[in-house]
Structure 1
């Protein structure tokens, strides 16, 4: 499974039904190569862990999600789930877009803005015993169940989504965001956009820093604080993501893929690929072919 991300890091949402702003599916972390692409979206996300564990990055902070725990990720926050040790995790992932709440009532819009705006918390993490976890987990199960039927009743789905978001507002509305480590979004987006457009070339740290009009030191600090990676680590990971697509969708040789993904050496590409994914590029291609 692929998370499609635009150059500004926003996710291209793949709703269950095209004209209804809801994403709800049961996913496994292995479907994303144990490391999802860093992204954001306007929707509020509820991650309900069914089995296993994973780490989750949100706006520079990393939390560990345990079985039956619930993570509520606020709107327009940079985030991704991952497991450095490649442990499997099964979870219900639900994203509800604000457009579901379009309303001419200014008091409702104000409440939504207050709960999910930039001044509120980036995320809330609830353990399995909390009232919030039980309420949100139940909501995710109900909505996923409704959407899994052959012909879902969309009025019922919308009602349940409204109930779920009402619960999110209840919990998020009492929180205030710590703005101590906020980052100018334009700086990080410009630097990441440079990587996305020049990954196949020789990219130096100075090139990345210049794209964001920041110093090398600030470049490193922004990537570490905001993406939990160095610029070089992000560049390498992005090149690997490109190579995954080429392995799955083309008949190019490993040498050609290595070059087209921006790696200077085939041996370095293969060694890095195996270190992160636990298999060689050819083994990955074979596993993809066996699933078709």
Structure 2
């Protein structure tokens, strides 16, 4: 199979996730689609993301990603894990993570976020099962296969949650872009009960998997490395301060490291320079403002920390492979891809 050309596969893509924000401590704020039980489900392609990678982030939610077609990699606390078609990954609460590609091939996936603190559990059940899982430092993530056991049960629940929002997968429509997650809610508010049912089934399977992990070949990851802790603090600082001018020295100080170590940590763990990460955060924020508001381009540039409109436009085009104005126009007409890019057939392998 051919590798995808990133500039062809994502020239006019619209970032598919809901418009998320940040808490003062840097944690991601998720705009849930089941407010009663705080869940969010996304159906996307990696090629819908800038440079086929999500932003490095963390949140209190449990995250479950199932690979429908193709493959992808996950970064979790400094470790890189490949997830193949038919597999799923669970990322525990408060773990630094993101999904991405290493080889330029696309991946279709379904991702579910479930807030462990808002699922109507009694205090006893919450402390005994949910909080203990969320606080398990030896269980930051787990990879599951669909061939029975805990993995099969977890994947079944992921797809139940996918189906109540998007409907059952139609594998005959191979070239369609997944629907925009941020514009959809659950098909019926009664399905909030399905969310609750799936959550508790997942907690049961994860609790059993955590208990069995030493006996079933599951890797028990080590405690977070100091570089991961420093990276988390520096990423949080950037997300709190990206609307202002930020220096390398300030980023390094936020992680309690020197400038040389700061640059080395970003390169080692994110394959970016600190300034590239700052621009990435700013551009993703600008993309949301372009689609969610009618603010002038110059105002968006200023609000997202860019020193000038021209520098914003150059940086946006470099990262997104499209100008800000064209990105806004494509979103307004509801067409994330233009006629030239529609001829591109997504390749999986």
TM-score, structure 1 normalization: 0.80
Residue pairs, 1:103-182, within 5 angstroms: 103-105=122-124, 109-127=127-145, 129=147, 131-146=149-164, 148-152=186-190, 154-175=192-213, 176-179=220-223, 181-182=225-226
How far apart are residue 32 of structure 1 and its match? Answer: 4.5
Aligned residue in 2 for 1:14: 31
Of residues 91-100 and 129-138 in structure 1, the stretch that sits farther from structure 2 once superposed is 129-138
The 1:101–1:257 alpha-carbon spacing in structure 2 relative to 1, beyond 3 Å, is: closer
How far apart are residue 269 of structure 1 and its match? Answer: 4.2
In 2, the alpha carbon distance for the partners of 1:247 and 1:193 equals: 23
8 Å contact kept, 2:280–2:319: no
TM-score, structure 2 normalization: 0.69
1:166-197 CA deviation, whole Å, 9 max, x = no partner? Answer: 11222233443302614585x55553454345
Aligned residue in 2 for 1:54: 72
Does residue 285 (structure 1) correspond to residue 303 (structure 2)? The answer is no
8 Å contact kept, 2:77–2:224: no
In 1, the alpha carbon distance for the partners of 2:89 and 2:307 equals: 39
Q: CA RMSD in A?
A: 3.3
Residue 215 of structure 1, aligned match among 258, 266, 269:
258
8 Å contact kept, 2:37–2:196: no
Aligned residue in 2 for 1:65: 83
Aligned residue in 1 for 2:217: none
In 2, the alpha carbon distance for the partners of 1:43 and 1:211 equals: 24
The 1:19–1:200 alpha-carbon spacing in structure 2 relative to 1, beyond 3 Å, is: closer
How far apart are residue 146 of structure 1 and its match? Answer: 4.3
How far apart are residue 271 of structure 1 and its match? Answer: 4.3
Of residues 266-275 and 39-48 in structure 1, the stretch that sits farther from structure 2 once superposed is 266-275
In 2, the alpha carbon distance for the partners of 1:77 and 1:231 equals: 20
How far apart are residue 256 of structure 1 and its match? Answer: 5.7
In 1, the alpha carbon distance for the partners of 2:236 and 2:187 equals: 40
Aligned residue in 1 for 2:247: 204
Aligned residues: 289
1:229-261 CA deviation, whole Å, 9 max, x = no partner? Answer: 4322211211212332343323424x6654554
How far apart are residue 131 of structure 1 and its match? Answer: 4.2
1:7-65 CA deviation, whole Å, 9 max, x = no partner? Answer: 42312122222121333343344554443333222222211111233332222223233
The 1:224–1:174 alpha-carbon spacing in structure 2 relative to 1, beyond 3 Å, is: farther
Residue pairs, 1:14-93, within 5 angstroms: 14-33=31-50, 34-83=52-101, 88-93=106-111
The answer to which structure, 1 or 2, has the higher relative contact order (CA under 8 A, 6+ apart) is: 2
The 1:285–1:165 alpha-carbon spacing in structure 2 relative to 1, beyond 3 Å, is: same
State the SS of the aligned residue for 2:63: strand
